[in-house]
Amino acid sequence: MTIADAPARLAAAADASLRWHPGGPYDLHRTLGILMRGNGDPSFSSRPDGLWMAFTTPEGPVTLRLTLTDERAGGRPGDRAAVGPCVDAQAWGPGSGAAVAVVPRLLGGADDWSAFDEPSFAATLPHMVREARRRNPDVRLPSTGRMVDSLVPTILEQKVTVIEARRGFRYLMYRHGTAAPGSGTIAPPGLLVRPTAEGWLRIPSWEWHKAGVGPQRSATVMRALRSAVALERLACLPAAEAAAKMQTIPGIGVWTAAEVVQRTHGCPDSIAVGDYHLAAYVGAALTGRRTDDAGMLALLEPWTGHRQRVVRMLGLSGFRKPTFGPRMTIQDHRGH
């Protein structure tokens, strides 16, 4: 199958499909990029024929292909409702129906920026944030609803560098992930589904060691996933309540919970308190000076309810924190 004829053939071969209209500007890759654990995440593949991802649903594994198109080419003349960007989704595997049903939520369909963009509120935002939002009206906050898929790699990132964590995640994926439905035929070769809760629990201690995951982090994963059914139910709760309940599990603190609900719930307000770099970055961006967690929260307090949106726009502004000068000690809550 060539790239040119891929769309029609893939659509015809899909077990389930859906076309979703965002109702405005939309950027597929920047919206879903937060879900990837680096460019080498084996559960994602970005190719000219679409953004591919594989995951597990309650009905089983699925391969999902997403493509952003402009419906002007296919809409009927004069049908203004059909004009604009849309995302085509095709799914393969036992979980196809379940995956397609949640595609709008996954793509940020429930993410409402209207209050953030309201002129009186926008006027209170720093110029850097307003300008970033003006240039990026097409970014949404995605919601996966998959707690285990988000929690495990987040725990692996506790108290280590991102490079170390992602190296360990890839090792465990290649050893214990499973081939995505259609991998190597319909789907890209090497596309993998992350282990289920039962799969993670079966990983022996020496494999965690080979992945560079210390006993504290692997023990946290084991503790959390012994209650995987209850954990997945948190997806139905409001983000703040889900985050609070996660923190009742020893080893899961405010940083981990915030990082999870940003992805599972598309939470517009959760802030990763205890991150090695975030407080210093926010402080430098908003005041020109580094700060600590308390200082970051004070700076963001005027925009409570939208603090994650502010941070996301800062990240898209192009601002880079100076790397010189004295370092401040930032309290680390990631493993607490």
Rounded to the nearest integer, the mean pLDDT of the chain is 91
Inter-CA distances, 188 with 22, 192, 294, Å: 26, 10, 45
- pLDDT value for 12: 66
Q: Are residues 28 and 86 in the same domain?
A: yes
Residue 4 has pLDDT above 50, yes or no: no
Residue 239 has pLDDT above 50, yes or no: yes
Residue 147 has pLDDT above 80, yes or no: yes
Residue 52 has pLDDT above 70, yes or no: yes
Entry pTM = 0.89
In a domain, 1, yes or no: no
The whole-number average pLDDT for the span 182-202 is 95
CATH of the domain at 216: 1.10.340.30
Q: How far apart are CA 336 and CA 332, in angstroms?
A: 8
CATH of the domain at 38: 3.30.310
The whole-number average pLDDT for the span 4-26 is 81
- pLDDT value for 11: 67
The whole-number average pLDDT for the span 159-188 is 95
- pLDDT value for 84: 86
Q: Are residues 180 and 241 in the same domain?
A: no
Q: How far apart are CA 155 and CA 332, in angstroms?
A: 14
Neighbouring C-beta atoms of residue 231, cutoff 10 Å: 20
Say how many domains are in the chain: 3
| Residue 1: band (very low, low, confident or very high) from pLDDT cuts 50, 70, 90 | very low
Residue 331 has pLDDT above 90, yes or no: no
Biggest CA pair distance of the chain: 63
The whole-number average pLDDT for the span 62-82 is 71
Structure tokens at 64: 């999902």
Quote the domain boundaries for residue 95. 6-111
Q: Are residues 283 and 210 in the same domain?
A: no
In a domain, 166, yes or no: yes
DSSP 329: P
Q: Are residues 189 and 309 in the same domain?
A: no
Q: Are residues 153 and 177 in the same domain?
A: yes
The whole-number average pLDDT for the span 100-127 is 97
